[in-house]
Each structure stands twice: as C-alpha cells, then as structure tokens.
Structure 1
Amino acid sequence: MTKTDRNMRNEKARSDTSHFSLLTSQSSEEKQLVVFRLLDEEFGVEIGNVKEIVRLPPITPIPRSPGYVAGICNLRGNVLPVIDTRIRFSLNTPESTDHTRLLVVETGGVQTSLIVDSVREVMRMQDIQEEPPPAVCRGIDRQFLSGVVKVDDGERLILKLNLDEVLLTETEAVSGRSETSERLEAASAFAEEVSDAEELLVSFKVAGDEYAFDIDKVSEIINITEITAVPNVPAYVKGLFTIRNHLLPIIDLRELLGLPGLISERYAVIDNAVQNHREWTENLRHVIEAGAHFTGTLDPKETLFGIWLEAYKTSGVEVEAIIKRLKKSRWDLYSAVSGVLEKRETSKSAAISFFNETIPPLLQIVIGVMAELKTAMEAHVLGDQRALVVKSDSMTVGYLVDWVDEVIRVPKSVIDETPFMASSERKEVRAVAKLDKGERLIMIMDESALVSRETAKLLSEKLRKESRDGSEGGEISSDKKSLAQQSMAEEQLVTFTVNKEEYGIRIMQVQEINRLSEITYVPRAPYFVDGMTNLRGSIIPVISIRKLFALEDREADDRTRIIIVDIGGNKTGLRVDQVNEVLRLEKRDIVKTPNIVISGSANRYMQGVCRINGGKRMVVLLNVEKILDEDELRKLSEIMKKPGAEPKHIAEPSPPAGEDISAEPEQKPGETKPDTETAEGDKPGKKKLEIAE
C-alpha cells in the first residue's frame, strides 16, 4: 500500500464513523443484530458487542502473525488488531471496495476489529426465529457460529457469530481501550546526505500559508502544555516554557507576522458559518413559499464550512467529540431540508408545515453545538499548535505555529531569491520555493531576522532573571528531579523501514549503522542469513529482515543499511531497506502488542507498538535479543565456523565517513566515535550512533 493510498484512506476514516455506533446507546432491552456481508453471505453480531463501524483505515502488517490477521490499526489513539474475516472463515478474498468496513467489537473487555465487505442494517430480533447452528452452515464451521437467524419465513438466513470462538487465539485479556496520550512530534533527521543542489526544510502552516525553516536550524519540534507569562515584553512573546531544565522563550509566529491569532480566526469561521446556516434556511423558506427552484447544496460536506470541518486537525479529545456531534447534527439538518423539498413536489402547505416543525429546532441544535465548539477550541488551542525550537545567532527560540507539515527536500533550482523579497518589508522571508509548477509556494524563513536585537536583548535579560530567581527559590533542584523522572519515562529508538512498514529498536541495543558493503556467501546457511561481512577486522553474520519476516527479497540500493546489534553475545548485522531517524517518545506511548496477532513464539521478539503523533504513525518495536529462537541461534553460530566461503558482491564498499543521527544536535557529521559512548555531561546510558554514508 502506497503512502498516498494510506493518506486517502486515513482522510476517509476520519470523516466516516458510521451512524450505527450511535445505536448502542439505546436503552431498549430488545435484542438487535448488526448485519454485515461477506461475499454472498450475511452475518450478524449482537449490537451490544459492537462499538463502532468505520471505513477501512491504514493497516500495519505484523510479520509471522496468523494468516487471518491483517495487522494492526490505529483508531483515535487505540491500537487494535485487525482480523480479515474472509480468511478466518476460509472464504475467497476479493479486493477491498468503497463499501468495505471495519467492525470494532468488544468481548471480555477486549476490543478487536473485523474486516467486512459491507454493513447492511441493524435488525431488531423481536419475533425473529433463531436456531442452533448445524455442524457446517454454508461452508462456515459451527464453532464460529452461535446460531442461525431466519428472516422472511426462512427465505433469508443470517449467520450469527460466536465472537469468543472467532477471537479464540487471544490467550489473555488485553484491554483495547488505551489512554489517548498527548501527541508529541520530533523533528525528522534523514540519514542520507543532502545533495548540494537541494535544501532540506521543515515546513509548517501559519494562517493557511506554508512556511519553512532550514532543518539545520530546527533542533526539535515540541508540544507546548503551559506557558509562563512574563511582563513588559512585546505582545508576540507569549512567555517562557521549561524544557529539560532550560527556559525557552515562546513567540507566536502569527502575531510576529502581523496576522490574526489562531483562536480568533477559528471564531470568525464559526461565526460566519452560523450566519450562513441562518441565511440558508431562510432562503429555503422563501423558495418554498414562492415555488421557486432551490439552488443551495444538500450535502453538508460540500459547503465551505463542511470542507473546513473535514480538514480540521486537533489533538483535543473533547474538540474531536464535539466536531463529531456537529457533523451529525448538520447531516440531520440537511437531510430534513431534502425532506422539505420532496414534500413541496406534492403539497406546498405540507412542505411549509414540515419546515416549521423540523428545520428551526434542528438549526438551533447546530448553532448550539457550534457554540460548544468555540468554547472547547479556546481551551485546547495551545495543544493543537506546535513549537519549532529554532537556533539563531543570538538565541534559541520556540516559534508557535499552527501545524507542522513535513520535512521536505527542495531543489535549489525552484527556490526564488530574487527581488520579490526586496520589494517587501518582511525581511524575515529570505526566499520562496515554488513547487508543483508554482501551485505550491513555501516561504523560507530567515531565523536571524525574525527577532530584533532589542527584543533578543530583552528576552536574554528575562531568561537570566527567571533562572536566577528559580535558583534562589530552590526551584531548579525541583525541576531537575522532575526532568530526571521524565527521562526515566522516555525511550529512544532507531526506526527503520522494511517493505514500506516501520520498525524500531531501542537505541541501547544498536551499536552502529553502516552502508551495505561486501557480503561473503556461506553455503547451506539458514534461509534468513545473507552471508558474512567484515566489520573493521571482525567477521559478522548479516541477517536479512525481509527473509526473516517471510517477505519478498529485493536488490540493495543506496538506502540499504546494516544495523549492527548484539544477538546471543555476538555482533550481528541486520539488513534493512533504510534507516529513518532516532526517535524519542514517552513509554506510555508504547502499548502491548495485541495477543491475537501473536501465534505461539513466532512473534516473541515483538515488544509493543509505538504510537507516534497521537497514533497517526505506528512503529512496531522489536527486541533484537529475541529475534532468533534457540534453533536459529544455533544455526547462526555454526555458520561462523564454516570455511571455504565464496565471495559475493551485493554492494560496493562505502567510504569510511559517517554521519551522526544522535538526538544530540551538537554532534558533527562524520565525527568518529566508538561503538558506545557516554559523553561527559550526557545522561548515563545515552548512546551516540554513527551511520556510514
């Protein structure tokens, strides 16, 4: 699955939580069945077990999991196993369509998701005949069924699922309801060299426009939780934020650029939408009374406000819930309008009567939810923004932006540094990158021109004063303790890609990262071993992660890397498609691997799933010490003793130069370091990595 396909699916998943989930809140004791289709067969699940129904989201495959396990997915921060029910029931597996849905079910306190071809209806079970299942019913084993529901005098059969049997492979109850954590973003650092003809930029959005900083100037991207205001500073200086025992001035880039504040901009959009909804319904009234043709849209998603609402990004759970209610209430309103227009075709008086009874109350509900949304937005606006920690000549500053987009390579040939800037008073923009044939413009900031010397001097004085006051009051010691606790709650991972999926290894298990060099073929080696290589005089085996995970092999390219780790007391190389970054995240963002994706000891090396950016990105965490079982370890030890190996060149040896991908920005590319190092002043156990380029 390509990244484009995933993004498209992800956008659909956000906006398509099915209305079936709302029925679970009904207080009636009458049994109801959610009916869905697999091929030509109909199946049912009691509605009490169904949490919600959504479009098919991006799915992360898990190596060596049972064949019917499609992988795992993220649903608003929850990591859920995904079962392909067609494979589970030994049915043919056609391609997914626009009707394919994910049925999120819960049994025994555990949430799991089932892929189904389509959802048909929610059926009331009153006066419907249910019989025990036969030994085999339409090719489905009896163990998976709790009964057969007969509808229309037996003309229609619905196979009722026994979820306990369908999900039997779970060996212990693992809660699928995980805490929605604060979303943290880390600045991406690519391992490969940047061409002289390119610039590497961190792009972000401010008031709908796209800006960027040189990645060399951005030390990290952080989520701001609380800002301490300071007096007698310019309005665009929001205050100070403590990060790892250092005070960081926070500047609102909107205010610095003379743009409206983010919350006021959002208020204006909602206020305008309220006015438009009122005018829209009033226009409908005049159309009905005059018998004219109604020209307004009947799809709430196609309106300007609907488009804005679908594109709205938030990390606030409360805001997300209100937006969900707002979409539902707007849909009810627009559906009622369609009903009014239908009645007008037969009776003008009936249409007016229906309008008066339904439209004003529904409109008031929509306006009321919009008011709630404004209140919630104000409370969570800081959590939705990000701060780019940028180094300039004078000081380090956190610039508050609306949203961080990406780390992007831009050819210098499309960067315009002409007098377009000279005619503007905004000297903070040093150049403009014109992408997509000029359709996309990225304004590249000059960090040295953003803060004046006077403001920098003032902020420096404030920082010295705050630091001195904190030290005298004993607060610094308290901060150090808090940061130490925070460090204990964090993990650092080296992330890499295999077959377009992302994996991670704890940084303390990684010794170094090299380009793929000469590999020596070893006869009768285990299937997962590429051969042996020379690492500065030491002969080490090279394991192909693709082969180990039973994936299709591929030729090495300039992105292929060897990650050097320790397995069974021996240095071993892991061949991966590419190395991505060193990632820092909180331990609470690592959730246990759902048991249903683990078959026996096949996935003994899986330590969990890392939720990045609120779960939008998932990294499978591996324990390299357990990546081989005892038999595989024995075979690996044996091949190191075999003589007579034949040389096999997979790639040319690379030059010895290296590039550091440590999270420490002070390290210079190419600086030689031993395999492990605790630098003076670093936290104990912190490790530097060298990537040969």
Structure 2
Amino acid sequence: MESIITNERSIDNSSQYITFYLGNEMYGVAIQYLQEIIRVPEVVKVPRVPLYIRGLANLRGTILTILDSRQRLGLAKEEDTEATRVIVLTAEGKKIGCVVDRVVGVISIRRDEVEEISGEEVNKNFLEGIARIEGGKKLIMLLDAKQFLNSKDGEITKKNLFNKAVVSEKYEKGNESLNEEQLQMISFKIGDEEYGIEVTNVQEIVRFSDEISEVPNSPDYILGIISLRNRVLPIVSLRRLFNMEECAFDERSRIIVVNIDEGDYSYKVGFRVDIVSEVLRIPKGSIEPVPPLLKDKDSEEISGICKLNGGSRLIYLLDPKKVLSHRLKESADILRSCEDDDRMEVVNESDKEEQLVSFMVAGIECAFPIEDVREIIRLTDIVAVPKAPDFVEGVINLRGVIVPVIDLRKKFGLEGSRRGEHNRIVIVEISGKRTGLIVDSVKEVLKVKRSQIEITPEILMHEIEQRFIRGIVKFDRSNRMIILLSAEEVLSGKEKKELMEINEAKGE
C-alpha cells in the first residue's frame, strides 16, 4: 500500500475517511472499506459494459474490476496523470478498484460536521452525507462505499462454471447419432500438404519463439526439449519425420502438444508444424481409408484421408501414436526421461483442465470451451438478409447447411474494422442451430486449470445486458486474462428468436 498522509484530529465521536479529489471536488470514503491504494494497472477490457467500467486487472492473482469514479458519478472524463491512483475498496466480500484523480490522505470527521443530503443533490444515490470541516470552509462529499460495491446476486454465480449450456445438452442428447458420426480435428500444414489430428488427442497448441535445447545422441527428428509451464517437453519435427527439409521458426509456426499412450506408459510430445489452419468438425463418412498402394512402414501414421470441397481439398489424418510407434525404440529413453514421475497422482478437482479455443475481438482476448466450437473456417461469401438485426452479417452455405453469421464486434458494441486474411468464422451451437461468429483472429487452443478460472465479478454480472461471460481466465505470472464466453448466452432471448426466423426464412 502506498503511504497515506494522516491528519491527526483526535476528536471524540469521529470517524476516519480516506479523502481524494475528482476534479475540483473533494470526496471521502470511510477508512474501514479501504484495502489499499495502487497505481493505475493495465486492464483487460470487457465488451458490453457501461463506460465507467474500465476493465479487469490482475491484482496479485485476484481479478479486480476497475471503475472510473468520474464517469461513475457522471463527471467529465479526464486523462490519467502521474497523480492518478486506484483506491481498492472491499465490503461484504466484494472488492472493486476506483480510479481517482489524486489521493489527499486520511482525516477524522466529527458526527456533528456531517449533514444529511436533502433536495436535489448531485449523485445523492452514492452519497451518505456532506462534511463541512474547518468551520464550514471546506466541503467533503462522503461516498457510500456499499453503493459502489452493490450488485445483485445473479443466477450465474449458482451455476456450475464447467457445465455445458442447457440447450446444448438437449441438442446433444437429441442428436447422439449425429455426434457419433462426426469427428473434430485440428488441421495444419507441413509444406504444401495439409494434415489433421483428432482434437481428443491434442492437449494444446502453443506459439514458441525461444531456443530449443538440443539433446545429445538423439534421433534427428527430435529437435530438442523446451520448458512448458515447468514441464520438460520434447519437440518432434514432422518435416524431418516426413523426410522434408527443415525450415526456421516464424510467426506462423506452432507446436501441437499431444498425449501418446504406448503400452505401460504415456508421454507428451510437441509436434512442430508450419501453420495451424482450422478446427474442423466433419462427417466420419468423408474419411476414406489409405489406398493399399500407399500403405508402407513409412506412412502407417496416416489413418485416413479426408476429402473436402468436392475432393479438391485433401487432409491426411494422423494417428499420433503411430507417428512414433515404429521409431519408438530409438527414442523411448528420451521420451521417458522427459516425463514426470508423478503423472499417476490423483488430480484435485481444481487442478483438472479445461480446453479452450481463444480468439481476438477488437484487442480483447476471448475464448470458448472447445466442446462449444463445432469448427473454425476462413471468411467466405456472406449473403445479406433483409431486415436482419444490424449485428447479423447474413448467411453462408456450409456444406449444404444455411448458417447465419454474426459480427461479434457489432454484437459487443465495439468499433468496426476492415477485414483481412486473419479474420475467421467460429461455428458454434445456439439454441440447437449452427451459428457463425466473425472474430478478428483465432489465437490458440490451450488448456487451463479450473483453478485459473474465476467466476465473473458480481458488478459485471449486474451491469451486463446478457450474461454471456462464464468466467475470467487468469495467469499467475502475467497480466494476461481471457474472457471465457458462453456461446448459448451470446444472444438474448429476443435475438435468438430473430435468428430462428432467419433460419426458417432460409429453409433451415
């Protein structure tokens, strides 16, 4: 906590207040609500919240909602200065950070110096009184901290953060045969060829720019090892496995982390790939077996060939277990040595992991649980729909299915931008219907522990029109935070109805 100037006014029947300026007016908050005073931190913005909510900050592992006190009280917005501070208030288990222009100090105010609010006082809903001190020469507006911290307990706090949306569960139960006939995979490129790995085998996808430590006397296809969240991970070059020339890492390179079960032990390995393309959900019937003439010892890792776009796009489906199976003898010792001895320990519920697909919308990093994402596709031709809501871009034809497409920037009330090659359409289920969401870019597939996910701060749940935020993902060693969204709650009930009408009009 920063040092606070204390005005020693030792008077009976008095209370202490932390005082600060907003513009030319001095305000005070009872000292018992003050937790600490900090400099203005970096914040992660949250879509569709009032202007006075600046965003979320990571305060030593705790998610803190940051309010602009000026805008909260209806005052003109001003730029931060060197004197700007955040006073962290807490009451009844709730905590917020309030941005103020300048902290004055702590003073004692007698009860007889406080006047009740009457008439049409400005912002009287937030005031508990007005103090006239120094013989009435100085006025201090005394804020009611509980009003600043007050928010209704929404039903979202009572929900299991990790349960799927009710509608999604109904859809899955009513379409079990459909789910059984589909396969979800991550597609990527090695050279000019496209490959895929089932999502169930993928632990996460990471971008890695640091050096890889080489391992002496290892096969040439093992590039070396890296430290990933304090765990040693061997990195395998798929280019070298496929007898291709190695190329340098660039901004598009990724490492796909997979778990491989092999006999009496399992291990994790990172496959270095050139580009990660998409998350696809495809009918299993579209996967054809490898032709007999192509089957040999060096290609047994290919378990099938997926034909898309009428056969013009081929994806070779890899079996991670078989990728290294016939090479296992020469690399088994290295892979075993990279594994932790405690891998069989019972995992605490809070240590269990959630797999997420993260993406960017106007500089805000958001994510869906991977089970909510049907697939991710590149931008394609979108047909406009007359009289549709402004955030509905139109509809696309996705392999014979008409899918409405929503611009998330517009839906969240964010500033629009010119679209380019990085934009993607994330296909999700809303009320049992496939819906496309346009995002600026897809960032990565990652795994986080449940203990990293905090329930949405109550003040946000109270203020947001649609409770589409399921939680906030935090990272202990950085200021990075990810807003975890609920696909089912992205639209309000009225908007879902309008979307259903578009589907019906298009013959869905």
C-alpha contact 1:21 1:52 (8 A) present in aligned 2: no
Match of 2:198 in 1: none
Aligned amino acid, residue 208 of structure 2: V
- Report the alpha carbon displacement of residue 480 of structure 1 after superposing the two structures with TM: 3.8
- Report the alpha carbon displacement of residue 173 of structure 1 after superposing the two structures with TM: 12
Aligned amino acid, residue 235 of structure 2: K
Match of 1:51 in 2: 35
Aligned amino acid, residue 482 of structure 1: V
Secondary structure of the structure 1 residue equivalent to 2:17: strand
**Counterparts of 1:27-46 in structure 2 under 5 Å?**
31-46=15-30
CA distance change for structure 1 residues 498 and 587 in 2, over 3 Å: closer, same or farther? same
- The TM-score, its normalising length taken from structure 1, stands at 0.48
Match of 1:118 in 2: 102
| 2:29 is aligned with 1:165 | no
Counterpart CA distance in 2 for 1:220 and 1:624 is: 34
C-alpha contact 1:135 1:141 (8 A) present in aligned 2: no
CA distance change for structure 1 residues 150 and 29 in 2, over 3 Å: closer, same or farther? closer
CA distance change for structure 1 residues 161 and 389 in 2, over 3 Å: closer, same or farther? same
- Which of structures 1 and 2 has the bigger CA Rg? 1
Match of 1:391 in 2: 235
Match of 1:355 in 2: none
- Report the alpha carbon displacement of residue 586 of structure 1 after superposing the two structures with TM: 0.7
- Report the alpha carbon displacement of residue 219 of structure 1 after superposing the two structures with TM: 8.0
CA distance change for structure 1 residues 218 and 498 in 2, over 3 Å: closer, same or farther? farther
Counterpart CA distance in 1 for 2:25 and 2:153 is: 29
Q: Deviations over 1:291-315 (max 9, x none)?
A: xxxxxxxxxxxxxxxxxxxxxxxxx
Counterpart CA distance in 1 for 2:20 and 2:92 is: 22
Counterpart CA distance in 2 for 1:613 and 1:546 is: 29
- Report the alpha carbon displacement of residue 617 of structure 1 after superposing the two structures with TM: 0.8
- Report the alpha carbon displacement of residue 488 of structure 1 after superposing the two structures with TM: 7.7
| 2:82 is aligned with 1:82 | no
**Counterparts of 1:6-405 in structure 2 under 5 Å?**
17-20=1-4, 31-125=15-109, 129-137=113-121, 140-171=122-153, 202-204=208-210, 211=211, 221-224=227-230, 387-391=231-235
Does 548-557 or 606-615 show the bigger shift?
606-615
Match of 2:245 in 1: none
Aligned amino acid, residue 333 of structure 2: S
C-alpha contact 2:454 2:473 (8 A) present in aligned 1: yes
- Report the alpha carbon displacement of residue 37 of structure 1 after superposing the two structures with TM: 0.8
| 2:442 is aligned with 1:460 | no
Q: Any stretches of 5+ residues in structure 2 without a counterpart? A: 158-185, 193-205, 215-221, 238-248, 254-328
Aligned amino acid, residue 588 of structure 1: S
Aligned amino acid, residue 473 of structure 2: C
Aligned amino acid, residue 637 of structure 1: M
Aligned amino acid, residue 589 of structure 1: Q
Counterpart CA distance in 1 for 2:431 and 2:154 is: 29
C-alpha contact 1:100 1:117 (8 A) present in aligned 2: yes
C-alpha contact 1:201 1:408 (8 A) present in aligned 2: no
Match of 2:382 in 1: 519
**Counterparts of 1:407-446 in structure 2 under 5 Å?**
409=251
Dislocated runs of 4+, deviation >6 Å: 172-175, 190-196, 456-459
Q: Deviations over 1:389-435 (max 9, x none)?
A: 23369xxxxxxxxxxxxx97499xxxxxxxxxxxxxxxxxxxxxxxx
- Report the alpha carbon displacement of residue 94 of structure 1 after superposing the two structures with TM: 1.3
Secondary structure of the structure 2 residue equivalent to 1:554: coil
Counterpart CA distance in 1 for 2:402 and 2:384 is: 12
Q: Which has the higher strand share?
A: 2
- Report the alpha carbon displacement of residue 518 of structure 1 after superposing the two structures with TM: 0.8
Match of 2:356 in 1: 493
Aligned amino acid, residue 144 of structure 1: F
Q: CA RMSD in A?
A: 4.0
Q: Any stretches of 5+ residues in structure 1 without a counterpart? A: 1-16, 176-189, 205-210, 225-386, 394-406, 412-455, 471-475, 645-693
Match of 1:543 in 2: 406
Aligned amino acid, residue 222 of structure 1: L
C-alpha contact 1:146 1:162 (8 A) present in aligned 2: yes
CA distance change for structure 1 residues 487 and 43 in 2, over 3 Å: closer, same or farther? closer
Counterpart CA distance in 2 for 1:165 and 1:480 is: 49
C-alpha contact 2:129 2:143 (8 A) present in aligned 1: yes
Secondary structure of the structure 2 residue equivalent to 1:641: helix
CA distance change for structure 1 residues 192 and 156 in 2, over 3 Å: closer, same or farther? farther
Q: Deviations over 1:190-231 (max 9, x none)?
A: 9998999xxx98345xxxxxx5669x958874344xxxxxxx
Secondary structure of the structure 2 residue equivalent to 1:148: strand
C-alpha contact 2:357 2:369 (8 A) present in aligned 1: yes
Aligned amino acid, residue 129 of structure 2: G
Q: Deviations over 1:444-497 (max 9, x none)?
A: xxxxxxxxxxxx999939959x99xx9xxxxx9xx54625x6698210110000
1:482 to 328, 346, 349: 346
C-alpha contact 1:563 1:573 (8 A) present in aligned 2: yes
CA distance change for structure 1 residues 100 and 512 in 2, over 3 Å: closer, same or farther? same
- Report the alpha carbon displacement of residue 570 of structure 1 after superposing the two structures with TM: 1.1
Counterpart CA distance in 1 for 2:24 and 2:495 is: 44
Counterpart CA distance in 1 for 2:429 and 2:5 is: 48
Q: Deviations over 1:542-587 (max 9, x none)?
A: 1111111011222211110001111111111110000000110111
- The TM-score, its normalising length taken from structure 2, stands at 0.64
Counterpart CA distance in 1 for 2:458 and 2:88 is: 16
Counterpart CA distance in 1 for 2:383 and 2:23 is: 50
Counterpart CA distance in 1 for 2:49 and 2:476 is: 25
Counterpart CA distance in 1 for 2:89 and 2:96 is: 6
Counterpart CA distance in 2 for 1:173 and 1:29 is: 42
Counterpart CA distance in 1 for 2:92 and 2:413 is: 33
- Report the alpha carbon displacement of residue 614 of structure 1 after superposing the two structures with TM: 4.1
1:588 to 451, 454, 459: 451
**Counterparts of 1:589-628 in structure 2 under 5 Å?**
589-599=452-462, 602-614=465-477, 616-628=479-491
Counterpart CA distance in 2 for 1:100 and 1:458 is: 58
Match of 2:394 in 1: 531
Aligned amino acid, residue 346 of structure 2: S
CA distance change for structure 1 residues 110 and 172 in 2, over 3 Å: closer, same or farther? farther
Match of 2:200 in 1: none
Q: Deviations over 1:161-208 (max 9, x none)?
A: 111223333437999xxxxxxxxxxxxxx9998999xxx98345xxxx
CA distance change for structure 1 residues 458 and 110 in 2, over 3 Å: closer, same or farther? same
Paired residues in the alignment total 368
Q: Which has the higher helix share?
A: 1
- Report the alpha carbon displacement of residue 62 of structure 1 after superposing the two structures with TM: 2.0
Counterpart CA distance in 1 for 2:490 and 2:393 is: 16
CA distance change for structure 1 residues 619 and 458 in 2, over 3 Å: closer, same or farther? closer
CA distance change for structure 1 residues 46 and 515 in 2, over 3 Å: closer, same or farther? same
